[in-house]
Amino acid sequence: MDIHTFIANYQEAFGQHAELPIAFWYSDRMEASTEKVTGCLFKCMKQVRDGRTVSLSNETIACGGGKFYTGFTEMPERVPGFVSLKEKYKKTPEMVVDFVNELQIPKADKAYLHFARIDKMPSFDEVEGVLFLPTPDILSGLATWASFDNNALDTVAAPFGSGCCSVITQAIIENRKQGKRTFLGFFDPSVRPYFEADLLSFTIPMSRFKEMYHTMRESCLFDTHAWGKIKERIQLSQLGDVHILPSPISFPLLPDIYLQEIRIEDAAAIYYAIDTHRDYLRTWLPFVDNMRTIADEEAFLRQALSAPAERHEPIFGIWNQQHEICGLIGFHFSDFDNHRTELGYWLLPEYQHRGIITESVRKLCLWAVQEKEMKRIQIRCAVDNAASNAVPVRLGFIHEGTERCGELLASGEYTDIHIYSILKEEVLAHLKR
């Protein structure tokens, strides 16, 4: 299973700005320094949804029930009375005890329980479960997908429990016994204040996720009229609802290479890639000499990312599996009124001759004509930059002519520029696989 393939499929099914799910797992290594969480442990989920990894432990979880349901401690003596007499979730303390005994909550055998948005993880290794925070429309798709290859009446279960019980405990128990149930949750009134009013939890244990990963594109989520109508409504809501956190657009390229939309926090990684290959890159990229600090890169990204949505020109990082920058590719000089745009790119020398830029251009041309309704895409290449010119030629772009003295290089010399273009109908006919 590949995380970036799943992200690409998920965004295709639920919209490019659908909030990405959160993975959780145990280990003996602290992944991120985390302050003590007073009250409900799900208070920390905002940090996770914003892209930070959180590492919880017996020391950082203040809630006694949270410690218990995550397996770090035995059940505190006060829990049965509190759940029954104070919270009034069960009629008697004895019912609470019976409920807990029936669960048989496994004890944590590792020091930390981690949560991270899946785009911040290198793989699904060690993951116990995947937590989605869906609206009703997205939940309908998740539940239907879960039932695609499973006729069991409890394929989607909604057992009673606290937020941490319905998300963490149930998923861990199911995963450890290689079960197939998925879980609806966040019905507990105590956890609901920490999430938007129209969200529930939907948790897929890893034992089930491993199966569902392979059935996603076969299910109703792709190429069906019924889901198409719901997807359209989801996408409209994503444009208007401020509570949906935009997730970076991502495309798998090769087993170890993927595209992902650049964010401000990527400035340091981009700057490091440029700075360590400065002499090589400046030959054809005049802007390199203007990038002297991380702050310079941040300023460039802030300007690029501040455009209104209807005028946004996304820039994509080309990343390896270690989440290191291999290059950049992005849109610029767009004429939105006339549905035309331009692609520019660079790639570090150690990643060349693998077809990475060719595949990146192919992916983004398809995305631009299908998602952004672009009619024309062009690429400009210095006439002596053989590697750059080879990409549009390989993909069937038309060489329209040569712009004389089209760019001033860092060397102080002007270079002629070849102009290549491809039209929407040509993209759909020749670049779609």
What is the reported pTM? 0.61
CA 41 from chain centre, in angstroms, equals: 23
The Cα 306–Cα 294 span in angstroms is 18
Buried b (16+ CB within 10 A) or exposed e, 94-127: eebbebbeeeebeebeeebbbbbbbbbbeebeeb
- Mutual angle of helices 206-215 and 136-146, in 10-degree steps: 90
DSSP string, 311-376: G---EEEEEETT--EEEEEEEEEEEGGGTEEEEEEEE-GGG-SSSHHHHHHHHHHHHHHHHS--SE
- Spatial contact of 391 and 346, defined as CB atoms under 8 Å apart: no
Q: Which helix (H) or strand (E) holds 254?
A: strand 250-254
Indicate the DSSP class of residue 199: -
The Cα 96–Cα 94 span in angstroms is 5
pLDDT 10s per residue in the chain (433 long)?
899 899 999 999 998 788 999 999 999 999 988 888 888 889 888 889 988 899 999 999 988 889 999 999 998 888 888 888 888 999 999 998 999 899 889 999 999 999 999 999 888 999 999 999 999 999 999 999 999 999 999 999 999 888 899 999 999 999 999 999 999 999 998 888 888 888 999 999 999 999 999 999 999 999 899 998 898 888 777 665 433 445 688 889 998 899 999 988 888 889 999 999 999 999 999 999 989 888 889 889 888 887 777 788 999 999 998 788 999 999 999 999 999 999 999 999 999 999 999 999 999 999 999 989 999 999 999 999 999 999 999 999 999 999 999 999 999 999 999 999 999 999 999 988 7
Gyration radius (Cα) of the chain, Å: 25
- Mutual angle of helices 3-14 and 225-240, in 10-degree steps: 90
Three-state secondary-structure class, residue 115 = strand
Q: Which helix (H) or strand (E) holds 56?
A: strand 54-56
Q: Which helix (H) or strand (E) holds 398?
A: strand 398-408
- Give residues with Cβ within 8 angstroms of 110, minimum separation 6: 26, 27, 28
The Cα 89–Cα 66 span in angstroms is 16
**Residue indicated by tokens 């048989």:** 104
The Cα 360–Cα 106 span in angstroms is 45
Three-state secondary-structure class, residue 253 = strand
The Cα 177–Cα 65 span in angstroms is 23
Three-state secondary-structure class, residue 109 = coil
Structural domains of the chain sorted by starting position, each given as residue range(s) with its CATH number in brackets: 3-218 (no CATH), 250-430 (3.40.630.30)
Sheet holding 182-185, edge to edge: 54-56, 112-117, 22-27, 129-132, 201-205, 182-185, 156-157
